[in-house]
Structures are given as structure tokens and as C-alpha cells.
């Protein structure tokens, strides 16, 4: 009888040990994936002003400094060599509004270099816990660009947001084919030009792409999908949700 009890106890202890070991192995397997992003330290900062959609000035470690948002590029508004590009003002306004209305600003550097050749900091910037880099891409006011490892921890997150903005034809994607973002490197050789047809070409066969409007009953419903509201160019924009008539519906006010 004693031997039977001993065998049962030994079996139970062994079974519990195997289950515990299995759970521990599972946790250890998944933890490096989580740590890949959480290992990047966030540091406090204060918003000073917006420079462009992808550039801001912050108070960092007691000094004013310019920050270039990592992995993105928005239409230009400040480059003296270029005219103001379409959706540039909207991109600049989006970033400024998101950060100016936030109570908590943080910056997060990636694993590579921290500054560019102009002396600007390269970082992910957060407004009340939301990554501004990702938010502006999701709104279709910036695209994924300047991907230089190892400063690319969040590139897949940004690409996912860009794909959604493209699918919804938001802002910079509203009149531009997504194929145009990839430049072809194939050069065509000299080929005889086709002769012009004797009859006029019917140009009425071109299809017109339309953006499907999105309807939200109120700002509470809209913010579940777009936490920072939407611009007047967004298919979800409605004048009735733009109380201050500034071209931005359901913005977060502090």
C-alpha cells in the first residue's frame, strides 16, 4: 500500500514538473519577440513647435532640439528648393495638433545612429502613448521611407498602416496609384514607335476611381477608429463633426 502511494505521489510530482517546464519554455520562446520593441527606452520631452509633418522641435534634456521622425517622409512645406507640396500643410497641421494637444511627450531612439547629417535627432515620437510616426502614416499624410537598419524596429508596423491608408485612398494616396511609389529600374531599348490609328481613340473608356465615404454617427464612434480625428480630405470627414469649422473633425481638445 505504501509503495502504491509513493508511486502515485511520484507520478503527480513528475506531471506537475513537466507542465511547469512546458509553460516556462513557451514563455521563453515568445519573450524575445516582445523584448525586441520594449527594450527601446522612452525618454521624456516637451513639445515646442511643429516644423513639418515629419519634423518637430522639442525640449529634450533641457535644450531645444529638432527631431526627425524615423522611417517616414511627409510632403514638403519648408524646403526652400521645392514648392509647398500637396498635402504638406495638412501633414504639418496633423503632427502639430497631435503633439500640442498631448499631456505627455516621449521620444524613443532605435538601435542605430541617433542624429542625421543635419544634426537632427532621429527618433520615434509619442504623444500620450501614441506613436506620431505611425499615426501620420495611417492618415495617409506620410509614407514609409529612409529605412536604414538597424533603425528599423517598427518598419513592419508602419508598412501595415501605410497599406491600410493606401487601401482607403487617404490623402496622398487618393489621387496616386500605389504602384508609382516603386520606381522601375528597367530601361527600354530603342523600339519603333507604333503608328497612330487612322480613327480617333475613344477616351471615354477610362474608369474613374472614387473613394467610398465612411460614416460615423458621432465623434465617440469615429475616435474608436481614428483617435485623433480626420482632416477634411478624409472620406470619414463630415462638417457636422467639425464643430470649430477648422477643417478637422473630432480632434482631441485639451
Residue numbers annotated as active site: 68, 76, 120
Q: What is the dihedral of CA 93, 94, 99, 103, to 10 degrees?
A: 120
Report whether 41 contacts 116 (CB < 8 A).
no
Residues 6+ apart with CB under 8 A from 208: none
Tell me the three cell numbers of residue 16.
506537475
What whole-number distance in Å separates Cα of residue 165 and Cα of residue 152? 20
Burial class (CB in 10 A: 0-12, 13-18, 19+), 23: exposed
Q: How far is CA 71 from the centre of its chain?
A: 9
Residue ranges of the alpha helices (H) in the chain? 2-38, 88-100, 132-138, 155-167, 219-223
Cell 522601375 belongs to residue: 184
ω into residue 150 within 30 of 0, thus cis? yes
Residues 6+ apart with CB under 8 A from 51: 57, 66, 78, 92
Amino acid at each position: 500500500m505504501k509503495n502504491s502511494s509513493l508511486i502515485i505521489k511520484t507520478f503527480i510530482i513528475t506531471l506537475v514538473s513537466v507542465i511547469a517546464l512546458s509553460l516556462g519554455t513557451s514563455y521563453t520562446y515568445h519573450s524575445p519577440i516582445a523584448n525586441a520593441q520594449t527594450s527601446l527606452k522612452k525618454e521624456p520631452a516637451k513639445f515646442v513647435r511643429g516644423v513639418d509633418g515629419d519634423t518637430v522641435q522639442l525640449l529634450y534634456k533641457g535644450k531645444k532640439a529638432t527631431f526627425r521622425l524615423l522611417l517616414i517622409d511627409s510632403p514638403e512645406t519648408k524646403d526652400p528648393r521645392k514648392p509647398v507640396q500637396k498635402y504638406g500643410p495638412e501633414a504639418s497641421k496633423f503632427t502639430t495638433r497631435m503633439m500640442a494637444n498631448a499631456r505627455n511627450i516621449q521620444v524613443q531612439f532605435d538601435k542605430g545612429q541617433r542624429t542625421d547629417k543635419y544634426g537632427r535627432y532621429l527618433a520615434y515620437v509619442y504623444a500620450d502613448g501614441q506613436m506620431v510616426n505611425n499615426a501620420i502614416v495611417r492618415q495617409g499624410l506620410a509614407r514609409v521611407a529612409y529605412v536604414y537598419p538597424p533603425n528599423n524596429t517598427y518598419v513592419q508596423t508602419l508598412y501595415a498602416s501605410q497599406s491600410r491608408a493606401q487601401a482607403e485612398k487617404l490623402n496622398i494616396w487618393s489621387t496616386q496609384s500605389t504602384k508609382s511609389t516603386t520606381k522601375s529600374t528597367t530601361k527600354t531599348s530603342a523600339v519603333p514607335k507604333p503608328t497612330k490609328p487612322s480613327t480617333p481613340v475613344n477616351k471615354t473608356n477610362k474608369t474613374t476611381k472614387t473613394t467610398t465615404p465612411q460614416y460615423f454617427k458621432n465623434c465617440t464612434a469615429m475616435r474608436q477608429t481614428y483617435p485623433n480625428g480626420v482632416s477634411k480630405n478624409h472620406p470619414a470627414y463630415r462638417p457636422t463633426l467639425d464643430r470649430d469649422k477648422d477643417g478637422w473633425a473630432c480632434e482631441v481638445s485639451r
